[in-house]
Chains A and B, each alone.
Chain A
Amino acid sequence: MDQNQNCHKNNEFLFKVLIIGDVAVGKSSIMKRFAENVFDRKYGSTIGVDFKTKKLKLGGKAVKLQIWDTAGHERFRSITSAFYRGAHGIVLVYDVTRMETFTNIPKWLQELDLQDYNCTVKILFGNKSDLSSERDVPRETAFKYADSNNMFLFETSAKTGNSVNEAFEHLVSRMLVAFHEAESTATKPILSGDLSTCILSEQEKIIAGSGCSC
């Protein structure tokens, strides 16, 4: 918590964001589009975890996002779930052209609940919105579901870049709010987890370099 308070004084934040969802919904593409503004697919599906960072400024605050992309294949879950720990934000992705990827969202939420992510900020991405002729998940159904589960929904296209940045910015603003709420109401950090601690300690060095003593 100390480090976060210190970082806060400096208006510098580090958030860990996890991208989860079914196989081939475009998780890696979303991450690449947001972090590097590219759309490519290299040698194949994600195996285990992948990772990118992205800096952005929002409302005068410098935020660094550490984005963890996970394999969608359920077999990898025993490996990837170890990396869920300490996430501040979670991006749940489905493919608007494949209904089953949407109907599986509750399963992903359940998985998170098992690991006690109740207070983590969650956001829903309906990806591949550019493929309008192949749409399988009606907008209304999806938005209704998102509303009733207290999540924001963005229909995105990693291919064209449509709404990807807006969705992430929204996520960041919600994480900042959650952070301030937790800071003002509790002495206990909302930000916890072994892995994040080790990453944050690495981050400390970066922040320390910019004048923060944390």
Chain B
Amino acid sequence: GYPYTRDKIIKEARVDIPPLLRDKIWAALLNVTGNVPVNYDNIDKESFTPTDRQIEVDIPRCHQYHQLLASPTAHGKFKRLLKAWVVSHPGLVYWQGLDSLCAPFLSLNFNDEALAHSCLKSFIPKYLYNFFLKDNSPIIQEYLAVFCHLIAFHDPELFIHLDETGFQPELYAIPWFLTMFTHVFPLHKIYHLWDTLLLGNSSFPLYIGMAILQQLRAQLLTYGFNECILLFSDMPEIDIERCVQDSIKIFQSTPKSVAARQHDYRPNEKHEGKVKAKTEKEFLPVEQLKSEKCPRLSLQDMLQIMDIRNGDKTDYAAKSPSKTQSKSWGLVVDIRHPEDYNRGHLSGSINMPSNQTFSDDNELVPCDSATTLQAAKGKIIIVLGGRANNCPKFAEKLLNLVFPRLCVLDAGGMAAMRTIGLMSVFPI
């Protein structure tokens, strides 16, 4: 039985989660183990805490259209659950929204408060790590900046429009993510959405957010600031099944490092103690992250996209440059000076010197490389260059020409490539 059958449960859950078993399956997906009832019993849910007042005003307005949750019994359970969470997380605090987040677990495990509590307790560190810190603004700011990058990556047209309109995610997406959409959708939609979310990683909510925008993109593109913000003030009808399918597609077509966040890294995880590999994602300070319009890509992801096996030089060198390019689903644009490029570059990359690529009106100057780039539209385009080149700016100019799937290689990527012997001189 569970937990030994967990892998099997996950496999089955990918196909479908039967509503009658949802409570147990969710607990399994969240890896809830240990003596759940005893653990819950041991928490003091009765003594006064300064948060009580806030919890008391929030509960009577949380998902009250739901008959079960509107009952006095439910309010009592709600209060105990929230108090139990607050008491057992001394480093974290109650933020409004935690009540909404609790609602799916309470309604599912109405007669098993202990299990509802364990689920909430496992859910938050997985998807909302440190979101409930007293000062969570660095976490939220990074999260929203990464969300912006995802919009730019997948839908440059929408990104440009929203950016010009000034309709920034701070205005609409905080309740989406802080409550994992429980503040914007009714519970029956949340069950459906979370059935998939719980199978996804900690970046999955970002893809759901992207899927919501995609479903509304036709309207958003014609809307100005007021209409955009009004649209999300009362979340319009969203086809949740479509949203689920779209978010899976977006997940599959997003390189992992594009959605990676510094604040998602937990101490005590396998990363600790280990020297960070040179190919892993480098994180930028949030201000820089916000100023750059396109996401950064780790070298690791680039090697995977370009189908280059790291450390296996013989295999790699055996490939002709054209073969590498045709097999991959990306295009590497090296924006260094041609002299530097000729001294050594990645096989299959094209050279588009930053000072020669764009005309005065920011169009592409016609040349062979520009033709190759145009033909690669839709592939992942990876901009790389030395520290002297402004790669983010270059990517931004391409973004304004409505190139999708743009990203910039991590700043240390070039040096790391040299170290592992990927910068080879090829006959021209």
Chain A residue numbers with a CB within 8 Å of B170 are: 48, 79, 82
Contact between chains at A43 and B186 (CB < 8 Å): yes
Contact of B166 among A66, A73, A199, A205 (CB under 8 A): A199
A111 within 8 A of B: no
- Please encode chain A, from 63 to 82, with 1 for each CB lying within 8 Å of some chain B CB and 0 for all others: 00010000101011011001
- Please encode chain A, from 36 to 71, with 1 for each CB lying within 8 Å of some chain B CB and 0 for all others: 000001111111111111000000000000100001
Contact between chains at A75 and B134 (CB < 8 Å): yes
* Given contacts A48-B170, A199-B166, A43 and B183 within 8 Å (CB-CB): yes
Contact between chains at A23 and B57 (CB < 8 Å): yes
- Please encode chain B, from 56 to 78, with 1 for each CB lying within 8 Å of some chain A CB and 0 for all others: 01100111110000000000000
B175 within 8 A of A: yes
B99 within 8 A of A: yes
Contact of B100 among A43, A73, A75, A206 (CB under 8 A): A43
Residue of B nearest to A204 (CB): B224
Residue of A nearest to B97 (CB): A47
Contact between chains at B229 and A47 (CB < 8 Å): no
Closest CB of chain A to B142's CB: distance in Å? 14
Chain B residue numbers with a CB within 8 Å of A198 are: 166, 225
Query: A43 CA to B178 CA in the complex, in Å?
Result: 14
A24 within 8 A of B: yes
Contact of A43 among B62, B95, B134, B137 (CB under 8 A): B62
* Given contacts A41-B61, A43-B62, A44-B61, A73 and B226 within 8 Å (CB-CB): no
Chain B residue numbers with a CB within 8 Å of A49 are: 171
A3 within 8 A of B: no
Closest CB of chain B to A66's CB: distance in Å? 7
Query: A76 CA to B61 CA in the complex, in Å?
Result: 18
Query: A75 CA to B182 CA in the complex, in Å?
Result: 19
Contact between chains at B96 and A203 (CB < 8 Å): no
* Given contacts A43-B184, A45-B61, A82-B170, A23 and B229 within 8 Å (CB-CB): no
Contact between chains at A48 and B174 (CB < 8 Å): yes
Contact of A51 among B54, B99, B174, B229 (CB under 8 A): B229
Contact between chains at A44 and B166 (CB < 8 Å): no
Query: A10 CA to B64 CA in the complex, in Å?
Result: 45
Residue of A nearest to B57 (CB): A24
A202 within 8 A of B: yes
Contact of A53 among B62, B99, B186, B226 (CB under 8 A): B226
Residue of B nearest to A41 (CB): B61
Query: A47 CA to B181 CA in the complex, in Å?
Result: 12
Chain A residue numbers with a CB within 8 Å of B182 are: 43
B140 within 8 A of A: yes
Contact between chains at B230 and A79 (CB < 8 Å): no
Contact between chains at B230 and A53 (CB < 8 Å): yes
Contact between chains at B174 and A44 (CB < 8 Å): no
Chain B residue numbers with a CB within 8 Å of A46 are: 96
Closest CB of chain B to A104's CB: distance in Å? 13
Interface of A is mostly: mixed
Chain A residue numbers with a CB within 8 Å of B99 are: 44-45
Contact between chains at B230 and A51 (CB < 8 Å): yes
Query: A83 CA to B175 CA in the complex, in Å?
Result: 16
Query: A79 CA to B64 CA in the complex, in Å?
Result: 26
Chain A residue numbers with a CB within 8 Å of B186 are: 43
Query: A41 CA to B183 CA in the complex, in Å?
Result: 11
Contact between chains at B96 and A45 (CB < 8 Å): yes
Residue of B nearest to A200 (CB): B225
Chain A residue numbers with a CB within 8 Å of B95 are: 73, 75-76
Chain A residue numbers with a CB within 8 Å of B174 are: 47-48, 79
Chain A residue numbers with a CB within 8 Å of B62 are: 43-45
* Given contacts A73-B95, A202-B165, A47 and B175 within 8 Å (CB-CB): yes
Contact between chains at A79 and B137 (CB < 8 Å): yes
Contact of B96 among A41, A71, A195 (CB under 8 A): A71
Contact between chains at A202 and B226 (CB < 8 Å): yes
* Given contacts A79-B140, A79-B174, A82-B170, A44 and B96 within 8 Å (CB-CB): yes
Contact of A44 among B58, B93, B137, B224 (CB under 8 A): B58
Residue of A nearest to B65 (CB): A42
Residue of A nearest to B53 (CB): A23
- Please encode chain A, from 103 to 116, with 1 for each CB lying within 8 Å of some chain B CB and 0 for all others: 00000000000000
Chain A residue numbers with a CB within 8 Å of B184 are: 43
Query: A23 CA to B99 CA in the complex, in Å?
Result: 14
Chain A residue numbers with a CB within 8 Å of B225 are: 198-199, 202
Query: A50 CA to B96 CA in the complex, in Å?
Result: 14
* Given contacts A79-B137, A79-B170, A202-B224, A44 and B230 within 8 Å (CB-CB): no
Contact between chains at A75 and B226 (CB < 8 Å): no
* Given contacts A82-B170, A203-B226, A73 and B96 within 8 Å (CB-CB): yes
Chain B residue numbers with a CB within 8 Å of A71 are: 96
A-contacting residues, B178-236, CB 8 Å: 178-179, 182-186, 224-226, 229-230, 233
| A and B contact pairs by CB, cutoff 8 A, 21 listed | A23-B54, A43-B182, A43-B184, A44-B58, A45-B58, A45-B62, A45-B96, A47-B175, A47-B178, A47-B183, A48-B171, A52-B230, A52-B233, A53-B230, A71-B96, A75-B95, A76-B95, A76-B96, A79-B170, A202-B166, A206-B224
* Beyond A47-B175, A73-B54, 13 additional pairs, beta carbon < 8 A: A24-B57, A43-B185, A44-B183, A47-B178, A71-B96, A75-B134, A76-B95, A76-B96, A78-B137, A79-B174, A195-B166, A199-B225, A202-B166
Chain B interface (Cβ within 8 Å of chain A)? 54, 57-58, 61-65, 93, 95-97, 99-100, 134-135, 137, 140, 165-166, 170-171, 174-175, 178-179, 182-186, 224-226, 229-230, 233
Q: Which 6 A-B pairs have the closest CB atoms?
A: A47-B175, A24-B57, A202-B225, A48-B174, A198-B166, A44-B62
